[in-house]
Amino acid sequence: MTRILEATTSLFLPLPPGFHTLHTILGVHCLPLHNLLHYIDNGVLLLTETAVTRLMKDLDNSEKNEKLKFSIIVRLPPLIGQKICRLWDHPMSSNIISRNHVKRLLVNYKKQPQSSMIDKSPGSVEFLPLNYFIEILTDIESSNQALYAFEGHDNVDAKFVEEAALKHTTMLLGL
């Protein structure tokens, strides 16, 4: 298939629909990881949204496949990467989604004086930096709720970010 790709590219011929998807899927199943990533980085294999979606659904979460999935997600354009992260139920994808959400919220954040103390609701974690940060995110979300309502970020909020941060911390600490 790589020879067909080279020939059609050199002759400026169009490829049939789905060629790059099939080519990438075959590459994933036939090539060792380092060769696959080398081909992706050099443009021989193109990561189409369809191919990556299919891989995320078809591959299990074994250690080898997690490494493959993460290597592929890192190489995706940001918009496609965000869509694909939502399909992968894994702490790493939750971490990526949380980071993107926080980055999007804090882009235009200007520190304002806080009028309230950090509330101690039952079930909240006794970690003041995290509590303060989540309170800031909640305030930003509530003031910008109309702005972000139509962007497709329906299930990501400050609570999701807090849970992802706690899961990531417990993994790092080995608890």
Residues of the chain with pLDDT > 90: what percent?
A: 34
Q: pLDDT tens-digit profile of 4-19? A: 999 999 999 999 999 9
What is residue 37's predicted lDDT score, i.e. its pLDDT?
96
pTM, two decimals, is: 0.62
Confidence tier at 25 by pLDDT (50, 70, 90): very high
Q: pLDDT tens-digit profile of 146-160? A: 555 545 555 677 787
The answer to whether the beta carbons of residues 160 and 100 sit under 8 Å apart is no
Q: Is the pLDDT of residue 40 over 80?
A: yes
Confidence tier at 91 by pLDDT (50, 70, 90): confident
The token pair at 15 is 């490829």
Estimate the crossing angle of helix 19-30 against helix 2-10, to 10 degrees.
140
Count, residues in the chain: 175
Residue with tokens 């918009």: 79
Q: Sign of dihedral through CA atoms 49, 34, 74, 6? A: negative
Confidence tier at 112 by pLDDT (50, 70, 90): low
Helix residue spans in 31-90 (DSSP H): 33-41, 49-58, 63-74, 78-85
CA distance to 22, 89, 95, per residue, from 12 (Å): 20, 40, 42
SS3 67: helix
Q: Is the pLDDT of residue 123 over 60?
A: no
Q: Sign of dihedral through CA atoms 7, 11, 17, 21? A: positive
